[in-house]
Structure 1
Amino acid sequence: MELFLGMDVGGSRSRAAVVDGSGRLCGTAEGPGGNPVSHPPDQAFRALAGAIRAVLHDVPAAAVRSAVVGMAGVGPMQLPAMSADLADLADAVGLPCRPTVVGDVIVAFAAGTAEPDGTVLIAGTGATAARITGRERTAGTDGHGWLVGDTGSAFWLGQRAVRAALAALDGRGAATSLLGGVAEALLGTGAGDPVPETVLNADARADTAERIVHAVHAGPPIALARLAPLVSIAARAGDAVAGGIVAEAASLLVADVDPIRDPGERTPIVVAGSVVAGDTPVADLTRARLAARWPGCVVTAGDAARAAAWLAAARSVPPGRAAELHATILGT
């Protein structure tokens, strides 16, 4: 029996999948974030080792012929050290092969199509777009992190929600239901507390704003990403401010694709991540705009860990067989 191991390694969780040569799923596992870019190396590799051991619990590690590990934030400078560390990890867990490290954009693209060329747009906690040629990243936009980039991401949406709430409080912006949502999420206001929209006293408004600002700065900046669903809820309820944020996010995400894709191109555009691949207004608008410009090209990504396992298997079979395996493993 030949087995193929795939891993999707993020900052918040690590997911693994094992398939056999027929594409049958033999095991899955999930563990804590194992990305060395986001965590201390020792902590990251303990998480990776735990996920690998868990996914191989009921299958022989010695049967794994190939393994692919997808990680965000891994570029040419980090690859040599990362590959060496993963080789040591493979020895520790009993893998007979050396895992191949690829960027998360490669895995995300493979999660949507078996084609070797196309475009991938990822918008989850962060946001980036990449051109894929021969299953390699050959061009890209954004992905620069929350401080200087990631426009249209969940972090960006959460940050805009807070800004809109603060603007509504001090009169710089229009009234918005985002104020109530942000106050509830950050301050835990309940039924017995004043509803922020109805607080007319200037001192009370200033106090609410100060508490919101304090709550934001008390946590890690990236935690603002958890406020992104507030924008979706408000936009679907007809809130004009939230609707404007949604429209801006969609424009920014489509703008990520523009520089790396030809106008008449017919290769797939894979969308991945909770913001553009989930059930959100931003996803609906972004996909509609992409489909209007590139009809019939937009595909929603499936399971990334299974896609990584497919990438491992695709290296060992003819191209035609790889496409069949993709259909079996990912349901495409």
Structure 2
Amino acid sequence: MSLFLGIDAGGSATRCVVGDEHRILGRAQTSSCKIQRVGEAEARRALHAVIREACQSAGVAPGGIEQACIGISGASHPEVVERVRHIMGEVISAPVEVLGDIIIALEAGLGPLAGCMVIAGTGSIAVGRNQQGTLARAGGWGPVASDEGSGYWIGRAAVAAILRAHDSGESTALARAIMATWRLASYEDFERAASASPPPDFAQLFPTVLHEAEQGDPIAIDVLQRAGAELAELALVVIRRLWPGPQRVRVTICGGVLENSSRTRRAFASKLRSACPQSAISFGNIEPVTGALSLARKHAAISEHSAAGVTKKR
């Protein structure tokens, strides 16, 4: 039995699965290991912990892993790839394929098929692949200039809406809830925190906004619905580029925002179907980490085939 390991290194969490050729044998989850965000020391701690815990859950030794694959943002930068491989190599001896988080999500959501995927977690992006294999993307340029509809965008939009409401003399439940989340005692503290440099981690406010929307707060509801519309716009950019004519387009979703907010999903589906009636939206639960595991298996198979070819030539 061959053993493979896949990791989804998200902005909020790190997920790891261990499997054989057909099954998932164990899994684990810990905090983010995104080096650019948490630093190398915390990334090392998180990666080591999640790999060991997933292997323990599977009942296998880390040294028994044959091939690993990790999806992480920043994989286009050689220094990120080198550092991630080095850190993982301290725990496992297997080759490590370091890919973009978009690639593992596409593998999990679409496999070899054509379609569009919208990812909305801490950040956001839409990516698609048509029948000719052409790729296109929209968004995903980071929280300062992009990441529309993401957890970060939602938190920042909620804070902006609260400030606007305060200027109009309104007091909202959402403001009080965010002050409690940030552990602030006064509105003056809220103003200072909202405009701090560097800025706060607005993505951490998504659960608070979600809870207050469920309690009926109109500002929270509006922000979540606007997030859905923003994500639909990203999908439409990709669809119009890859499928300019009236064709049926498969659309899948993943990420904590769309998975956890029914209001965001409904707003997303309403806008997308209105502008692109031929879209076929799937709200099934997609785990990018399973895409990393699938790609680890495929890479091992390619390596084995290549090695067999070399042996035959000799």
Whether the TM-score (by the shorter chain) exceeds 0.5 is yes
Post-superposition CA distance 1:112-149 (Å, at most 9, x none): 33334322211122111122469x99322221222222
**Which residue does the alignment assign to 2:177?**
181
**Which residue does the alignment assign to 1:140?**
137
**Which residue does the alignment assign to 2:114?**
117
Residue 95, structure 1, aligned to residue 93, structure 2: yes
Residue 41, structure 1, aligned to residue 23, structure 2: no
Task: Give distance in 2, aligned partners of 1:24 and 1:222.
Answer: 40
**Which residue does the alignment assign to 1:327?**
none
Matches within 5 A, 1:199-218: 208-217=186-195
Residue 305, structure 1, aligned to residue 289, structure 2: yes
Matches within 5 A, 1:230-245: 230-245=208-223
Shift of 1:296: 2.6
Aligned residues of 2:11 and 2:122 also touching (Cα < 8 A): no
**Which residue does the alignment assign to 1:257?**
235
Task: Give distance in 1, aligned partners of 2:272 and 2:212.
Answer: 24
Aligned residues of 1:291 and 1:298 also touching (Cα < 8 A): no
**Which residue does the alignment assign to 1:82?**
80
**Which residue does the alignment assign to 2:250?**
268
3-state SS, counterpart of residue 165 of structure 2: helix
Q: 1:285 to 1:113 in 2, by over 3 A?
A: same
| Corresponding letter in the other structure for 1:73 | G
**TM-score normalised by length of structure 2:** 0.79
Q: 1:271 to 1:212 in 2, by over 3 A?
A: same
3-state SS, counterpart of residue 47 of structure 1: helix
Aligned residues of 2:226 and 2:264 also touching (Cα < 8 A): no
| Corresponding letter in the other structure for 1:284 | R
Task: Give distance in 1, aligned partners of 2:154 and 2:217.
Answer: 15
**Which residue does the alignment assign to 1:3?**
3
Shift of 1:54: 2.9
Aligned residues of 1:5 and 1:312 also touching (Cα < 8 A): yes
Task: Give distance in 1, aligned partners of 2:192 and 2:70.
Answer: 39
| Corresponding letter in the other structure for 2:82 | A
**Which residue does the alignment assign to 2:309?**
none
Aligned residues of 1:141 and 1:256 also touching (Cα < 8 A): yes
Aligned residues of 1:168 and 1:179 also touching (Cα < 8 A): no
Shift of 1:188: 5.6
**Which residue does the alignment assign to 1:156?**
153
Task: Give distance in 2, aligned partners of 1:183 and 1:38.
Answer: 24
**TM-score normalised by length of structure 1:** 0.75
Post-superposition CA distance 1:32-86 (Å, at most 9, x none): 32222223334423432332233233314454332110102332xx1x3334334
Count of paired positions:
293
Task: Give distance in 2, aligned partners of 1:40 and 1:177.
Answer: 35
**Which residue does the alignment assign to 2:25?**
26
Task: Give distance in 1, aligned partners of 2:75 and 2:80.
Answer: 8
Unaligned runs of 5+ in 1: 190-207, 319-332
